[in-house]
Amino acid sequence: MKLQKAVHAVLLLSLLAVSALAADISGQWKAEFTLPDGSARQNTMNFKQDGDKLTGTVAGQMGEAEIRDGKVSGDTVSFYVMRNFGDNEMKLTYTGQVSGSEIKFKVSVEGAGMEFEMTAKKVS
């Protein structure tokens, strides 16, 4: 019986430790970045995290887009947004690493063969 309680205690502590390691990125983040063509841009990201599920929006010069398929796993963040460029709808995939109050993202534009990096900083 004591062994069973000890095993349950170790499992509970392990689960708590893993939960503590997971980043909670809920709130507003601002990113300044340069596109491959040299143009400077800014985005505002509003994140809402519920466990490993991430929802929210990304807003910038092209308006606001809803985050889709958002996930947070440890310090890794991933999601995509759909954007209209002229008459073409394109998928922008964001993959990032959280480090304190910063997230370093790599952004891939599907179908355009374009990638760029951005660093978002937490505002609130």
Q: What is the pLDDT of residue 15?
A: 46
Residues 38-80 have pLDDT tens digits of 899 999 999 999 999 999 999 998 899 999 999 999 999 999 9
Residue 107 identity: V
- Which of 61, 16, 22 has its CA nearest to residue 43? 61
The structural domains of the chain, with segments of one domain joined by +, span 24-122
CA pair distance 16, 48, nearest whole angstrom: 21
Query: How far is residue 101's CA from residue 99's CA, in Å, rounded to a whole number?
Result: 6
The string of pLDDT tens digits covering residues 109-124 is: 998 888 999 999 999 8
Q: Does residue 103 contact residue 25 with C-beta atoms inside 8 Å?
A: yes
Domain 24-122 has what CATH class? mainly beta
**Half-sphere exposure for 109 (CA within 13 Å, toward CB):** 14
For range 20-44, the mean pLDDT: 87
